[in-house]
Chain A
């Protein structure tokens, strides 16, 4: 039957409903600041938003959006290829290219469509894509559409990538390698220096998804490739405006002039309406702000270290190193759901992550840190997790 395949999800939803818990689609009834909101009628600290630099509530971005709405209207009502290219879109493309120090950029309506669209278009039938096994759904979705041969390499394992490039023989020269800067669920950083070395040895092209690393890593916030010193080896960088820039939209930048031809071959770019002018204007302002205020990145990392060190000191299972994404590994689905609600009751909103969204078979409570969090807020988040241990929701003996 048509609906049989949805039964496991329906069962999961029924389990949540029985407990009167709604972690997916939890409604923010109010946004009070970049780090505070109201959920289930309760004021909470927002610790699961990807609002890394706090730009979503920056008054300068809000003002830019207001002015653009007055000047351009509320929407473009069309595709970039038809009536949906405004001067704002072109300006943002120029500015994001400048930010990355390259000559070519495409702006998309969402980060998902940017990544999915590029992955679906760059390689095609008869060509090969090698992607990290823990890649985001937008990457998997794109490569499946591409028609190319798809080969996974082990997560963050350049030796496995090298082995698979060697196996390709002459075909390696036209292969597309895909990696992410920071992986969204566990917050681990790709070994791009080593991955770039594999590309130099065997040839091919490298696409890096900087969705969670743009504004977060690198001397000027360009992301993981800049931090690793391998930007010259990266052929295409994709990313999103919905995290460190606090709005919505996505981009691809490249030093290859061919990107201008590729633009007209991407369905996810052609057959959807372009971003509304207010969104583009706030994105431009946020880009200007994060460029002018590198201290935001310093605040972010101070907060990331405070949260990571605090949760680790509690004995919780966290990643190998501090990151703006701090995921706490949980015992099973039931404990994860119970923990999520207990944190909310304690005034902390985080993300609940279960397979297949999580890598492997992990059940996670995923925290993301913002430069806008105060040190006291980070302490409150840590104290809420300590409460989970005291109440027996997390057993340190099992998870430490």
Chain B
């Protein structure tokens, strides 16, 4: 099982291309409000995560995901 920090590290790395404001990425950073991902960018980002971990992320969980930390926890749960 991959540890939570490893999920976070992957998300930080995958978000680098979208981090146009050069924010210091932490688990509290919001994907939409802080980084400013559009709905299309969110879906592209999700696909990147899915392919990396070979999982499918259900749409149902997205309303509960606000921050990078939220997403790391959900991906970890799905990959258990």
Contact = CB atoms under 8 A, between A and B. Distances in A.
Nearest to A146: B60
Contact of B56 (A133, A164, A360): A164
Contacts of A360: 40
B58 A133 contact: no
Given A133-B43, A360-B40, A167 B59 contact: no
Contact of A151 (B38, B39, B54, B59): B59
B56 A167 contact: yes
Q: Give the contact-size bracket for chain B.
A: 10 to 19
Contacts of A167: 54-56
A128 B55 CA distance: 14
A7 interface: no
A149 B58 contact: yes
Nearest to A131: B59
Interface string B24-58: 00000000000000111001000100000011111
B60 A149 contact: yes
Interface in A110-143: 128, 133
A128 B60 CA distance: 11
B75 to A, nearest CB: 13
A150 B59 CA distance: 5
A71 interface: no
A124 to B, nearest CB: 13
Interface in A351-376: 356, 360-361
Interface string A141-163: 00000000111101000000000
A150 B54 contact: no
Nearest to B54: A167
Nearest to B59: A150
A227 to B, nearest CB: 29
Interface of A: 128, 133, 149-152, 154, 164, 167-168, 356, 360-361
Interface of B: 38-40, 43, 47, 54-60
Given A152-B59, A154-B47, 20 more contacts: A128-B58, A133-B43, A149-B58, A149-B60, A150-B58, A150-B59, A150-B60, A151-B56, A151-B57, A151-B58, A151-B59, A152-B43, A164-B56, A167-B55, A167-B56, A168-B56, A356-B39, A360-B40, A361-B38, A361-B40
23 contacts: A128-B58, A133-B43, A149-B58, A149-B60, A150-B58, A150-B59, A150-B60, A151-B56, A151-B57, A151-B58, A151-B59, A152-B43, A152-B59, A154-B47, A164-B56, A167-B54, A167-B55, A167-B56, A168-B56, A356-B39, A360-B40, A361-B38, A361-B40
The 7 closest A-B pairs by CB, nearest first: A150-B59, A149-B58, A151-B56, A164-B56, A167-B56, A150-B58, A151-B58
